[in-house]
Amino acid sequence: MDGPAVRLRGICKRFGAVQANDDVTLEVAAGTVHGIVGENGAGKSTLMSVLYGFHAADSGRIEVFGKPVQIRNPHEAIALGIGMVHQHFMLVDTLSALENVLLGAESHALLHRAEAAMRARLDALMASTGLKVELQAQVAELPVGDRQRLEILKALVRGAKILILDEPTAVLTPQETRSLFEVLARLAAQGTTILLITHKLKEVMQLCRRVTVMRAGRVVHETAVADTSAAALATAMIGRKVALGREPRGGAGRGELRLEANGLRWRDALGVTRLHDLSLRLHAGEIVGLAGVSGNGQSELLELLSGMRRPDAGTLRLGAERFDAAHWLQPRLARRLGLAHVPEDRGARALVMGFAAWESAVLGYEDDAQASRHGWMRNAALREAAARLMERYDVRPRDVELPSASFSGGNQQKLVLARELSRAPHVLLVGQPTRGVDIGAVEFIYGQLRALRAAGCALLLVSSELDEILALADRVLVMHAGRIVGERPVDECSEAGLGLMMAGEAVA
C-alpha cells in the first residue's frame, strides 16, 4: 500500500482560552509505527481525539488512506478502520472482558448469539496476535496488563487498520511492556499502522520508524528515528525559552537542614507504584531543582511533601517535627510549620475559581491572625492585603473582587505565588512556577524566588523547563519513573547530560 495511512493537515482545535492544537500537520506511512511525543498539555491527546471523532477540529483536513474524510464521532472513525487504545482504559469494571469487547460490535440483538460469534472471532485473534485474556473474567479482577491487552483486542476485533495507542505503557511492568512491543511489532509487520503516543523516549527509539514532537499545541520537530536520539528528542520536547542566565550566588551558602524525606513510596489507585523509595533533603538558603519530564512522579511527590497525600511508606522530618506513613503531615500543620506550596494544578488546587481574587488570596491561611479573629474574617483587611499583593506581584487586572476564574492563566499564577511567597516560608515547594506566565513576569518571579533563597528559605523547584532549572537551582535532581536518578550541583550540569537522565538513559 503506498501513500500515507493518515494525513492530518492544518488541524486547529481550541477549548475556551486554550489553543490545544495549532495548525498541526501529521503524516503517517502505512504499515509503520509512528511515534508522537510531547509533554502533558502538548496537544497529542487532543489530536488523537480529533482523529478518533471525539471532537471535531475547528479547521483542517483529514485523509485516511488517501481519501478525504469527515470524522464526526467514534462510530465513523471505527468504520474507517481507526481504533484507539485510550490512556485511561475505556472498560466497564462490572462487566466481563467479553462483554466489554462486544459492546458496540454486537452482531446480533440477542446476547448469547452475539457472544458466541464474538468469542470465535476473539479466539482467532488471540491466536494470531498472541494477546491472551481470560474472556469470562470480570474486568475488575483483571490485572492491569490484561486490561491493556483487552483494550487492544477491542480495537483489533473491529478491524482496525490504524491503531492509536495513548500512553500504553504508563501502567505496565517492564516485562509486560516487552510483550506489548512484540505484539505491536508483529501487528506492524502484518500491515497495521500504529500511532504511538508517549512521553517515554526510550520506547520511541525502540519501536518507531518516524517520530513527531509536539509542544504547546504545535508540531516542533519531525524526523526519522534513525536520524535522532532520545536526548535530542527530550530537548525538542522541552524546548527553549528566553535564556535567563544564572546569577552569581552571593551571600551565605547552604544552611541548616529544613526538610528531610526518606524512603517515600506511593502506589496509585490502580496499584501502580508511582514513587519508589525516594529520599531527598532541603537545606536553608538553597534552591533544589527537580528536573524531569512531567508524569514521572513529581506531582505525587509534591502532594506528599505538602501533606495532601499520605505515602504507603517513608518518613519525613520538617523543622523539628517528625512524621511517618501512619501519622503523616497535614496541610494545615505544614503551613504552621512554615511550609508553603505552589501546586502545579492551579485551577483545581491552588485557587477557588468561583471565589473573588481576595478570597482566593487567603486560601489555606484563613486561620492566621491577620485573616481572622475569633472566627470572624477580617474582610476589609483581607481586601487591602490582597490589593497590596496584587500591586507587588503585578497581577492584572487590579480588581480584588474579580472572580479568580476571570484572570488569565499567567495572572492566576502570579496570584498564587503572591499568596505563598509573601508568607516568608521556611520551606517552599513550587511546581511549574512560570507555566503560562508572560516573559516579563517570568523575570520578576525568578527574582522573588532568589530573594527567598537569600532570606534563608529552602526551595524545591519542580519544573519541566530545563532552562528554568538551570537558571535558578543550586543543586539539580533528576526524576525518572518515580525515582531520583541523578543529583548534580548546577555547575556540573549540561543540558545533554540532564536530557539523558530525564529520558532514563543514564543514571548518575
Partner 1 sequence: MDEVLLGTVLASTLRVATPLLLCALAGLLSERSGVIDIGLEGKMLFAAFAAGAAGAALASTAAALALACAAAVLLSWLHGLACVSHRGDQVVSGVAINLIAAGLTVVLGMAWFAQGGQTPPVGDAVRLQPLWPEAGAVLGPVLGEGLLGHGVLVYLALALVPAVWWLLYRTRFGLRLRAVGEKAQMVDAAGVSVPRLRYAALTLNGLLCGLAGSYLVLAQNASFVPHMTAGRGFMALAAMIFGKWHPVGAFWACLLFGFLDALAIRLQGVRLPAIGEVPVPAIQALPYVLTVVLLAGFFGRSHAPAELGKAYVKER
Partner 2 sequence: MNAAAPLPRWAELWLLPLLNLGIALAAAGVVVALVGQDPAQVLAVLLHGAFGTPRGIGYTLYYATSFVFTGLAVAVAFHAGLFNIGGEGQAILGGLGTGLVGLWLGSMLPAWALLPLMALAGATFGLAWAAVPAWLQAHRGSHVVITTIMFNFIASTLLVWLLVDHLKPAGSMAPESAALAASAHLPTLHQALGRLGIEWPASPLNLSALLALAAAAAVYLLLWRTRAGYRLRSVGASPGAALYAGIDPKRQVLLAMMISGALAGLVGMNEIAGVQHKLLLEYVGGAGFTGIAVALMGRNHPFGIVLAAVLFGALFQGGAEVAFEVGGFSRDMVVMLQGFIVLFSGAMAYVAAPLLARVLRREPARG
Task: Work out which of 239, 292, 343, 433 binds partner 2, going by CB under 8 A.
Answer: 343
Of 149 and 335, CB closest to partner 2: 335
Of 7 and 435, CB closest to partner 2: 435
455: cell is: 532570606
* Distance in Å, CB of 103 to partner 1, minimum: 5
Task: Work out which of 59, 107, 379, 494 binds partner 2, going by CB under 8 A.
Answer: 379
Question: What letter represents residue 230's amino acid?
Answer: A
* Distance in Å, CB of 201 to partner 1, minimum: 24
Of 86 and 215, CB closest to partner 1: 86
How many angstroms separate the Cα of 467 from the Cα of each of 39, 166, 287, 430, 471?
15, 28, 14, 16, 6
Q: Does 234 bind partner 1 (CB under 8 A)?
A: no
DSSP 142-208: S-HHHHHHHHHHHHHHTT-SEEEEESTTTT--HHHHHHHHHHHHHHHHTT-EEEEEES-HHHHHHH-
Number of residues this chain uses to bind partner 1 (CB under 8 A): 36
* Distance in Å, CB of 379 to partner 2, minimum: 6
Sorted by sequence, the CB contacts under 8 Å of residue 127 that are 6+ apart come out as none
Interacting residues with partner 1 between 136 and 155 (CB under 8 A): 154
221: cell is: 520537530
The answer to whether 33 and 212 have CB atoms below 8 angstroms apart is no
Omega within 30 of 0 (cis) for the link into 403: no
Interacting residues with partner 1 between 73 and 132 (CB under 8 A): 73-75, 77-79, 84, 86, 90-95, 99-100, 102-106, 108-112, 114
Question: What letter represents residue 2's amino acid?
Answer: D
* Distance in Å, CB of 342 to partner 2, minimum: 10
Sorted by sequence, the CB contacts under 8 Å of residue 362 that are 6+ apart come out as 368, 371, 377, 382, 386, 419
The answer to whether 42 and 36 have CB atoms below 8 angstroms apart is no
User: How many CB atoms sit inside 10 A of residue 9's CB?
Assistant: 15
Of 100 and 212, CB closest to partner 1: 100
Which range, of 65-73, 90-98, 334-342, 390-398, touches partner 2 by CB under 8 A? Answer: 334-342
Q: For residues 294 and 310, what is the distance between their CA atoms, to the nearest angstrom? A: 21
Interacting residues with partner 1 between 17 and 36 (CB under 8 A): 20
* Distance in Å, CB of 318 to partner 2, minimum: 15
330: cell is: 497535614
Residue 127 interacts with which of partner 1, partner 2, none, CB < 5 to 8 Å by class: none
Q: Name the nearest CA neighbour of 379 among 364, 396, 365, 358.
A: 358
* Distance in Å, CB of 44 to partner 1, minimum: 12
Of 77 and 231, CB closest to partner 1: 77
Residue 111 interacts with which of partner 1, partner 2, none, CB < 5 to 8 Å by class: partner 1
Q: Does 349 bind partner 2 (CB under 8 A)?
A: yes
385: cell is: 492585603
| Strand partners of residue 372 | 377
Q: Does 141 bind partner 2 (CB under 8 A)?
A: no
Q: Does 268 bind partner 2 (CB under 8 A)?
A: no
Q: Does 341 bind partner 2 (CB under 8 A)?
A: yes
Residue 103 interacts with which of partner 2, partner 1, none, CB < 5 to 8 Å by class: partner 1
Extract long-range pairs of 316-323: CB within 8 Å, 24+ residues apart: 316/259, 316/260, 316/261, 316/262, 316/264, 317/257, 317/259, 317/260, 317/261, 318/258, 318/259, 318/427, 319/258, 319/426
List b or e across 201-240, with b for residues whose CB sees 16 or more CB atoms inside 10 angstroms.
bebbbbbbbbbbbbbbbbbebbeebeebbbbbbbbbbbbe
101: cell is: 469487547
* Distance in Å, CB of 300 to partner 2, minimum: 14
Of 105 and 353, CB closest to partner 2: 353
Task: Work out which of 110, 377, 451, 454 binds partner 2, going by CB under 8 A.
Answer: 377
Number of residues this chain uses to bind partner 2 (CB under 8 A): 32
Which range, of 128-136, 147-155, 264-272, 328-336, touches partner 2 by CB under 8 A? Answer: 328-336
Which range, of 49-57, 314-322, 375-383, 495-503, touches partner 1 by CB under 8 A? Answer: 49-57
Q: What is the CA radius of gyration of the chain?
A: 25
Of 110 and 405, CB closest to partner 2: 405
Of 109 and 380, CB closest to partner 2: 380
Residues that bind partner 1 (CB under 8 A): 15, 20, 45-46, 49, 52, 54-55, 73-75, 77-79, 84, 86, 90-95, 99-100, 102-106, 108-112, 114, 154
Residues that bind partner 2 (CB under 8 A): 306-308, 330-335, 341, 343, 345, 348-355, 359, 362-364, 366-367, 371-372, 375-377, 379
